[in-house]
Amino acid sequence: MTTETTGATKAFDAFERGAWAGRAAAYAGSFGRLCAHPVGALLDAAGVGAGTYLLDAGTGTGTAAVVAQGRGARVRAVDADAGMVAAARARGVDAMGAVLPELPFADGEFDAVVGNFVLNHVGRPRAALAELRRVLRPGGRIALTLWGARRGAGQDLLGRACAAGGAVPPAYLPRLDAGEDFVRTPQGVAQLLGGAGFVAAEATELDWDHRTTVEEWWGGAAAGLGSGRGGPVGVRTLGRMKPGTASARPVVLAPDPAWQVRGPALAAELRAALGPLAVRVEHIGSTAVPGMAAKPVYDLQVSVADLEAAAAAFEAPLAHRGFQATPYRQDHVPAGRDDDPVLWTKRCWARRGHPDGDVNLHVRRTGSPNERLALLFRDWFRAHPEAVPAYAAFKLVVAGTVPDIGTYTDVKDPVVDLIVVVAEEWAAATGWSPSA
């Protein structure tokens, strides 16, 4: 067990938060039904009945809390995702936002604690258990479910389907710190509970039949659910394709002066459509640099004060303009930087095949390092046109060599990191800032 929050733990937690953000409705309509099966057994194990003061940790859309309330229990619920909290509240649950291992409750406050598939999604499971034990009264009961080492037939089917299609987990996805991991068997879970100070800890495997449809089963994964490690389907990112499959190869075109006209126009249109939550909308990326070769896709950046509130508010106006939310929630952190990955989170939408142009829309927090880097990269190249031909030639060569867009990005990122080092020196020497 690690005693401090490591970089791997921070990355894991940041990835998990991003993987579930904005997906409450998709979860309720897909894997939510799967995860609801063991709720009755979970509440029985915790001894939940009339008058029980219960904490539902990681409530999701509130299913376990609703059932517990039906038994006459008094329930408080927490979840790390604001969308999940809102969904639970809409069902009459007293839910609030909180992230394990830090809960806003007094020592010994609850008679019982339940957590339905929450331990799979925290970077410090032992610290999370210690916190749950803290808020549980002496003699109280805790009951947890988690996905074990053995996958069900439906989970395995979806995993095999993705593998057959060439979708494989990218190597860069954050993994649970080895010092925090535990054996995902009944014996291993019982030992984990015993190590956290719980007495008479027992664990068993549950089996049930889950009837679903192709649309429901695939719809959850297509919406980005299960992209966190330990998710219900065991499928991580579905977009990275193996060489030789149908994944599109990167297309990089010679520079087009029209890009510098159309890009700002698109930014202005979105600024008007998104309203006051959009602090600024900028044309970024290679199409924003005169003379630069680029993929024929406009990159736009929306700077916002509150990422979650903006993402929720932007969904309808963006959908009306042909945009679809993507599962990408984390920007690449430049090599050599020891930043908390949470600082590099974002929300992303994409539009393809639209008469007004293909667009990648990046929504980032005002003042965040990823917001700053996108503007610095653009402005440095605009101030150094002599550097544009070399980088453009590099992109054209890479695009003509690599088998897919994922590999193109992997090769390009370290070169961008080098450029940023020089750009930061220029920014310091000239007094450049994102608002300059």
In a domain, 250, yes or no: no
- Confidence band (pLDDT; 50, 70, 90) for 403? confident
**Mind listing the pLDDT tens digit for each residue in 22-80?**
778 888 888 888 899 999 999 999 999 999 999 999 999 999 999 999 999 999 999 99
> Could you tell me if 211 and 359 lie in one domain?
no
Q: Is the peptide bond before 101 cis (omega within 30 degrees of 0)?
A: yes
**Mind listing the pLDDT tens digit for each residue in 174-183?**
778 888 999 9
Spatial distance between the Cα atoms of 268 and 271, rounded to a whole number of angstroms: 5
pTM of the full predicted structure?
0.56
In a domain, 234, yes or no: no
In a domain, 227, yes or no: no
> Could you tell me if 11 and 141 lie in one domain?
yes
- Confidence band (pLDDT; 50, 70, 90) for 4? low
> Could you tell me if 311 and 366 lie in one domain?
yes
In a domain, 382, yes or no: yes
In a domain, 231, yes or no: no
pLDDT at 273 over 60: yes
In a domain, 244, yes or no: no
Give me the percent of the chain exceeding a pLDDT of 70: 85
Which has the minimum average pLDDT: 31-40, 163-172, 357-366? 163-172
> Could you tell me if 69 and 183 lie in one domain?
yes
* Both tokens assigned to 241: 């394709």
Domain count, the chain: 2
> Could you tell me if 72 and 126 lie in one domain?
yes
Mean per-residue pLDDT, 393-412: 88
> Could you tell me if 19 and 81 lie in one domain?
yes
* Both tokens assigned to 425: 């020196």
CATH number at residue 327: 3.30.460.10
Spatial distance between the Cα atoms of 291 and 298, rounded to a whole number of angstroms: 15
> Could you tell me if 192 and 287 lie in one domain?
no
**Mind listing the pLDDT tens digit for each residue in 111-135?**
999 999 999 899 999 999 999 999 9
233 contacts 117 by C-beta, under 8 angstroms: no
pLDDT value at residue 194: 93
Mean per-residue pLDDT, 331-348: 88
31 contacts 120 by C-beta, under 8 angstroms: no
Pairing of strands 74-79, 298-304: unpaired
- Confidence band (pLDDT; 50, 70, 90) for 169? low
In a domain, 192, yes or no: yes
Residues 6 or more apart from 147 whose CB is under 8 A from it? 117, 120, 184, 230, 231, 232, 234
> Could you tell me if 218 and 305 lie in one domain?
no
CATH number at residue 86: 3.40.50.150
Three-state secondary-structure class, residue 397 = helix
147 contacts 120 by C-beta, under 8 angstroms: yes
Q: Tell the burial category of 13 from Cβ atoms under 10 Å away from its Cβ (0-12, 13-18, 19+).
A: buried
Spatial distance between the Cα atoms of 121 and 125, rounded to a whole number of angstroms: 8
> Could you tell me if 173 and 277 lie in one domain?
no
pLDDT value at residue 225: 66
- Domain range for 386: 259-430
> Could you tell me if 211 and 337 lie in one domain?
no
78 contacts 97 by C-beta, under 8 angstroms: yes
* Both tokens assigned to 134: 């803290």
Last residue of a domain, one of 193, 222, 251: 222
